[in-house]
Amino acid sequence: MTQETQLGFYFDSSKCTGCKTCHIACKDRMVGKTRSKDDVANQGVSAMPGMLWRRVYEYGGGSWDQNGDESYEQNVFAYYASVGCNHCNEPVCVKACPTGAMHKRKEDGLVLVQESLCIGCESCSRACPYDAPQIDIERKVMTKCDGCFDRLAEGKKPICVESCPLRALDFDTMENLRAKYGNGDGHFAPLPSESITSPNLIVKASKKAQPVGASTGRILNVREV
């Protein structure tokens, strides 16, 4: 796969306000793809607990400290990270799949699930450091971000990108993204190290972004993600 054809995401954390519009838009599309209209009407989103193809992490930390003169100093920080599948160059989910259901598409590098081969063993989910593969408990198959390939065929961007009100997300070939945004700032907490999967993701960090693996902060919205 070359940079001219490999598709990937750009995310600007300095623009992201944590509104979660990308998260909701993706969830809405996911319901439509994995359920019939009757199923959606009768069961709703609650029929797919835990299935989130895109998640917005709130990461924060720091403290307020009182000085001897009763003044205060603080190093408090908070920022957001919108995370989905990064359609990695070295996808560990593909390596972990025992049936070949998880595969990397040759023409554009999207990592997809062939449901007819999937046995729902969740090996891919356990391997992925981004928690991208999600089990559909009812159908007993793995699901994940597919880059909205049906929208791409119509000349549209993924729904998460087009829904973002502050344009913090973008999607294109990696060559085009690098020409537009450069190489970015590299991963920051709570993202994992890029060395694990060589993700096709360029990120711009917020001012107070903490390094990968930092213990200075924590995910503040664990129940949501």
Boundaries of every domain in the chain: 7-86+145-219
CA 3, chain centre distance (Å): 20
Q: The CATH number of 7-86+145-219 is which of 3.20.20.140, 3.80.30.20, 3.40.50.2300, 3.30.70.20? A: 3.30.70.20
Give tens-digit pLDDT for 103-144. 999 999 999 999 999 999 999 999 999 999 999 999 999 999
Residue 165 phi/psi, 5-degree rounding, is -70, -25
Question: Higher model confidence: residue 52 or residue 35?
Answer: 52
Residue 209: exposed, middle, or buried by beta-carbon count in 10 A (0-12, 13-18, 19+)?
buried
DSSP 222: T
**Angle, vertex CA 147, rays to CA 142 and CA 150, nearest 5:** 100
Tell me the residue type at 50. Answer: G
Residue 45: exposed, middle, or buried by beta-carbon count in 10 A (0-12, 13-18, 19+)?
middle
Q: What is the pLDDT of residue 30?
A: 87
pLDDT category at 49 given cuts 50, 70, 90 is low
Residue range 43-53: average pLDDT? Answer: 59
Residue 201: closest CA among 125, 90, 107, 88: 88
d(CA 182, CA 163): 23
* Cis peptide upstream of residue 190 (ω within 30 degrees of 0): yes
pLDDT category at 46 given cuts 50, 70, 90 is very low
Question: Higher model confidence: residue 31 or residue 208?
Answer: 208
Residue 155 has a CB neighbour count (10 Å cut-off) of 6
d(CA 141, CA 134): 9
d(CA 222, CA 203): 22
Read off the pTM.
0.89
List 113's β-bridge partners, or say none: 102
Q: Do residues 190 and 219 make contact, with C-beta atoms less than 8 angstroms apart?
A: yes
Q: Check whether 206 has a pLDDT greater than 90.
A: yes
